[in-house]
Amino acid sequence: MAFSVTHHKQKLVVPDKATPFETKHISDIDDQGSTHFQMPTIMFYKYNSSMEGKDPAKYIKDGLSKTLVFYYPLAGRIFEGPNKKLLVNCNGEGILFVEADANIELEKLGNSIKPPCPHLDLLIHNVPGSDGLIGCPLLLIQVTRFSCGGFAVGIRLNHTMMDAYGLKMFLNALSELIQGASTPTIVPVWERKLLNARSPPCITCTHPEYDEQIESKNAWKFLEDKLVQKSFFFGNKEIEAIRKQVFPNHSEGTKFELLVAFLWKYRTIALGLRPEEIVRLTYVVNVRGKSLKFELPRGYYGNAFVAPAIVSKAGLLCSSPLSYAVELVKKVKDHMNEEYIRSVADLMVIKGRPELSKSWNFIVSDNRSAGFDEVDFGWGKPIFGGVPKAISFISFCVPVKNDKGEKGILIAISLPPLAMEKFQEVVYNMTYKNVVGVNIIVSKI
């Protein structure tokens, strides 16, 4: 049976108590050019006999009304102020809620619930006119019931409002209020001025992540409509195979450092670029990390990340041992401090909020500890929770278990078809060749 979903008429969910009518400023870290898009997240839940007769759509919709009392700016609308600065009109208009029913059992979807999930258009319905940055709902949530009693919660978030940490905080509050709490354990804090540019702003660090080469940008833009996505699973065996490629006289690096260095090198080889072409690896660094010693209130739910880049000539990256890429990745940490964060905020103001470079840039966001796989609305933890696909040249590491129950990292990558064939072959030969039962999940964008 073909998979289909019936979408009921969308509704606006508003706070169930009066909330302040006011204008709020988002931070200059919120207002990076690279956050000006709608971010999808999805979670799938199995049938739970202890919740028999309870409608997840009703529970979640009612819980959203309570949660928005505490997170009332999310019920507002973005508008543009002087110098294109984005502000929030906290007018209580509400978030979009879509109730839907699927015609099959959840288990029939199999591995397609994992990135790159091919069903997103059905599970996160793009309500006409709702996906803009200005004047549109800041959050859309769809609850899709499956015929077996399982369900999916699809989320589309205006990324200028919060990052993965902030969204998880919101979902934790929703979970607590659904299950009877009167107040979230962590009370949300706005305080976006903490990540604003200085006065006067001054760029004090080097930021190659925003350096744009027009020819390379145009070349990538030409390819964007032709990309395909595949997801690759890296468990302990695969990571160990990568680790063995790093020369023993080099310090080993973390699992994440090894993985992104490996992916960057062999992705670049697969693209077949000219040796003199400049390539970048950019990965998202959470400002809240203890290593940065940057203190934010526990309830701060705004965007709190920077995305430093490392740069190499394609020929040097491709011809050097993997340890070359690993060492470059590790050096990024040396530049991460409060001054770097302040410099990024200042750059946004001085340079007009640029996006991250598209010039042969591979951007990776490590969502392994985001916690979307732990959100429990009363039906238990999801069988999958996380960002459901790569977004153009941005990939997301999500925690999953493979068919054997082994824990690992799943990452969806976008490449042109011929480059993807080359990349898949080299990844298989260098990591999966001796691992039985590997699943590579494929989706055309």
In the annotation, is 346 catalytic? no
The single residue of 62, 131, 211, 376 carrying the catalytic annotation is 376
**Between the CA of residue 10 and those of 30, 65, 278, 340, what are the distances in Å?**
28, 15, 46, 43
Radius of gyration of the chain (CA): 22
Angle between helix 164-178 and helix 56-70 axes, rounded to 10 deg: 110
For the record, the structure tokens of 34 come out as 């690279």
Question: Which residues lie closer than 8 Å to 430 by C-beta, 6 or more apart?
Answer: 241, 242, 245, 262, 266
For residue 216, report the phi and psi dihedrals to the nearest 5 degrees: -70, -40
**Between the CA of residue 372 and those of 57, 254, 338, 382, 384, what are the distances in Å?**
18, 23, 28, 8, 8
Q: Strand, coil or helix: what is 120?
A: helix
Q: Which residue has the tokens 């990745």?
A: 329
How many C-beta atoms lie closer than 10 Å to residue 84's C-beta? 9
Pairing of strands 95-102, 139-145: parallel
For the record, the structure tokens of 121 come out as 């258009």
For the record, the structure tokens of 337 come out as 């401090």
CA 4, CA 277: separation in Å to the nearest integer?
45
The single residue of 119, 125, 159, 207 carrying the catalytic annotation is 159
Contact, 328 vs 181, CB < 8 A?
no
For the record, the structure tokens of 91 come out as 């007018």
Question: Which residues lie closer than 8 Å to 418 by C-beta, 6 or more apart?
Answer: none
For the record, the structure tokens of 367 come out as 């969502």
Angle between helix 255-271 and helix 417-427 axes, rounded to 10 deg: 130
**Listed residue (48, 120, 137, 34) closest to 445, CA to CA:** 120
Peptide bond preceding 200 in cis form (omega within 30 of 0): yes
In the annotation, is 159 catalytic? yes
CA 95, CA 64: separation in Å to the nearest integer?
9
Q: Which residues are catalytic?
A: 159, 376
